[in-house]
Structure 1
Amino acid sequence: MAYTPQLPALDTDAHPVLSPSPLRTLRDEAAVCRVLTPAGHEAWLVTRHAETKALLHDERLGRFHPATATAPKYVDSPLVEMLIIDDADSAREMHRQVRALLGPQFAARRMQALRPRVAAAARVLAGDFADRGQPADLQRHFALPYSLGILHELIGVPAEERESAARLLADIGRVGADGAAAPGPGPLFALFGAVAEAKWAAPQDDVLSRLVAAGVPTERAAALAATLLMAGLESVASFITLGVVLLTRHPERLRSALDDPEAMAALVEEILRNGKQSGSVLPRYAAADIEISGVTIRAGDLVLLDFALANHDERVFERAEEFDPCRTPNPHLSFGHGIWHCLGASLARIELAEAFGALFGRMPGLRPAVPDERLVTSAGRLVGGPAELPVRW
């Protein structure tokens, strides 16, 4: 695609965590508009709830492009690029197979059975965090290790490999910022591949064992495990950190929710909707021409579904910028929808609820230690969550 200087340009720079997305003006102008991606390529940005939801149901969108080497990019990331397949039918079938394989592993009933273990992990880490000197970084010393430990257990990463996996994952999560693109995912895939091979002789109740037992090739099983880890880690950790900031602003809501599971569940849903102002973009490609909202998305075009913009669409959410745990209904799209609904949604909801209960139960005075303007997103990351959250209690 030719470069068009007039197009609005997206970026992966650091932005104030609590400030409304600068792209909201685009949502006011059009439901689907042309933009320039952080990688410098043209794409369609979907800004509104109805159109985002419709396209999440559309099988003409997916991780496929007939010319993978020259496909337009959202960001410079070897991990994202290796997920693109050159045949749409093969990509759709692979997507269905993966969901069929992993769906039982992430079933809501199974996740509820894990809740006591998740709660115990949250209490232990909250206790360890409370013993630190103040101020302490909640993102680094609670949110990330908490979500990472749960994912490692679910995926089946042995304890002795977890430190290496975390280090490699942090490296490939970088995108091309300041000319420094992330390294390829090869070393992480090799680590997970070796773990997958070991599951043949000693299978356990985990994702990698299920994939191996189903005959998924080692390389593919390793890629799926790495993708699950990437998708679940920083997103959950970000919502924990953002949630703490929001909850300290609404202490009356928090107090009632600590002893009321239904009230806590409602808090979690509103944090999921309202917490992220930007940085929740799902890139996909069109396999055929798509007519939507007065524009034609051509086959091969890059399409960006922005969940944060959709979640603040006043056409669906009255007073969308306000944090309102009593919002009913609350049809946010933070977990996607339809064929792209997140398999780990039930687990993420449990993780968030148990994290907030453990943190504020152990440290009732928990609060940010820096002014709002100091809270910014991480620059140059696939998931643009908070860079840090220094807190006191």
Structure 2
Amino acid sequence: MTASPRELPSLGLEPPEFLRVSPLLRGLQEQAPICRVRTPAGDEGWLVTRHAELKELLHDERFGRSHPDPANAARYVRNPFLDLMITDTDADAGRRTHTETRRLLTPMFSARRVREMAPKVEAVVEAALDEFIAQGAPGDLHGGLSTPVALTVLCDIIGIPPHSRGELMTLLARMALLDSRESVERGQRDLFAFVEGLVGQKRAEPGEDIMTRLSEGGLPEARVAPLAVGLLFAGLDSVVTIMDHGVVLLAGHPKQRAAALADPAAMTHAVEEVLRAAKAGGSILPRYATEDVETGGVTIRAGDLILFDYSLPNFDERAFDAPERFDITRAPNPHLTFAHGIWHCIGAPLARIELNTLFTRLFTRLPGLRLALPADDLRLLEGQLSGGFTKLPVTW
């Protein structure tokens, strides 16, 4: 692009509307597959806007978290916790670490293991629904159902015992309030120390969980803890957000909801459409080029910030017919919500089971469930980074 820095289009953190791409993002998508933009932090970067180009770049190992000067690297947002994810580790070493992490964790989310988890997920959903319904209408589905389900499933799989989950939530909540690198580092040390203690307990009392399996594989506590914490951060908020948004979408399309409830195969397709349509832009993963890259008609220089948006390309008309229409019969549905290639989410099979089970059981047990306020008003309650709700009022 030839625009001067002052003329660069500026991205904001405004929550997207349901099934509607903002005029700014739609304009950028029509302009080019990769656009130079100004981030909410005020820095310059590249935004990938289209499906084909994002899918291709998610296979490219020349993009990662490494930067030669992390303190001065361009940022998507100013956030001390996210700043810790930028590393000055040699790019090759970073790629090796990424590959090794996936090698360790992927077998624990194999198709067979996930199928074995399905009865446990259903039991968690039913128990949470019992409590949610018992509290009576109206209710906050976000705090009363989506969050407890996602947290319980994730903690069960990782191996965090029920009596320790209150302390875990306190530590996670504290991390969200930290406002300096020093305080974030202290919070991170406290969280890692807490999980390391649980790993030590697993050696004495093993279970059928990830921390036990990693420990039995010979990894020390100091190595297992970051992996477990990484799964918590990757798998909690994102799943809660999609659960909430899926309920809004299905509640707003009663005929399609009824079709999904009448046929398990249709519900499987409905889950994929929820995954595609849950957010119309703003699911950003910041990465840095480790060398000059020619792609999409531009040259991305080594050290440049590139923004992989996993939701905007799901609304690319080159890949999807009428993308702003919610359609559970859509086929194929090659959404990139779980990324792709070397960045594909290893927990995707489990997330799909959680979503399928929650939508099926919720609308079966509460067929009259509806939003307690217009869907367009919910966006005012959404958070800055996750795009999730602080509350989701429903009644039945």
Work out whether the TM-score is over 0.5: yes
Letter in 2 for 1:31: P
Distance 2:41 2:360 in 1: 40
Deviation string 1:191-225 (CA, Å, 9 cap, x unpaired) is 11211222233332222223333343433322221
The question of whether the paired residues in 2 share the 8 Å contact of 1:280 and 1:308 is answered with yes
| Matched residue, 1:107 | 110
Instruction: Kindly indicate whether residue 37 of structure 2 is the aligned counterpart of residue 35 of structure 1.
Output: yes
Q: Check 1:165–1:203 CA distance in 2 against 1; reply closer, same or farther (3 A cut).
A: same
Query: Contact 1:101 / 1:210 at 8 angstroms: preserved in 2?
Result: no
Equivalent in the alignment of 1:288: 291
Instruction: Report the alpha carbon displacement of residue 36 of structure 1 after superposing the two structures with TM.
Output: 1.9
Q: 1:182 to 1:333 in 2, by over 3 A?
A: farther
Q: Which moved more, 1:302-311 or 1:32-41?
A: 32-41
Give 1:302's aligned residue. Answer: 305
Q: Which amino acid aligns with 1:221?
A: V
Q: Percent identity?
A: 48
Give the number of the structure whose residues are more often helix, by fraction: 2
Alignment check: 8 A CA contact 2:141 2:394 kept: yes
**CA positional deviation for 1:6:** 2.3
Secondary structure of the residue that 1:311 maps to in structure 2? helix
Deviations 1:326-352 (A, max 9, x none): 111100000000111000000000000
Quote the offset at 1:377 in angstroms: 6.3
Alignment map for 1:257-296 (pairs within 5 Å)? 257-296=260-299
Residues 314-333 of structure 1: pairs in structure 2 closer than 5 A: 314-333=317-336
2:236 is the alignment partner of 1:233: yes
| Distance (Å, rounded) in 1 between the aligned partners of 2:220 and 2:87 | 16
Q: Which runs of 5+ in 2 are unaligned?
A: none
Distance 1:158 1:377, change over 3 A: farther
Distance 1:273 1:105 in 2: 25
- Check whether the contact 1:136–1:390 (CA below 8 A) recurs between aligned residues: yes
Shift in alpha-carbon separation, 1:378–1:174, aligned structure 2, 3 A = farther
Moved over 4 A (4+): 13-19, 173-177, 180-184, 377-381
In 1, Cα distance between the equivalents of 2:20 and 2:375? 9
2:83 aligns to what? 81
Return the letter of the residue paired with 1:304.
Answer: L
Please tell me the residue identity of whatever aligns with 1:141.
Answer: G
Secondary structure of residue in 2 paired with 1:8: coil
- Matched ranges for 1:95-134 at <5 A: 95-134=98-137
Contact 2:126/2:361 (8 A) holds in 1: yes
Give the one of 70, 73, 76 matched to 1:71: 73
Identify which of 389, 393, 396 aligns with 1:390. 393
Alpha-carbon distance change, 234 to 356 in structure 1, aligned in 2, over 3 angstroms = same
In the alignment, structure 1 segments of 5+ residues that lack a partner are none
Question: 1:284-313: CA deviations, max 9, x gaps?
Answer: 111111111110111111111111110000
Q: Which amino acid aligns with 2:63?
A: L
Aligned counterparts, 1:1-393, within 5 A:
4-17=5-18, 19-21=20-22, 22-86=24-88, 87-173=90-176, 184-376=187-379, 381-393=384-396
Q: Give the TM-score normalised by structure 2.
A: 0.92
In the alignment, is the contact (CA less than 8 A) between 1:76 and 1:181 conserved in 2? no
Aligned length: 389
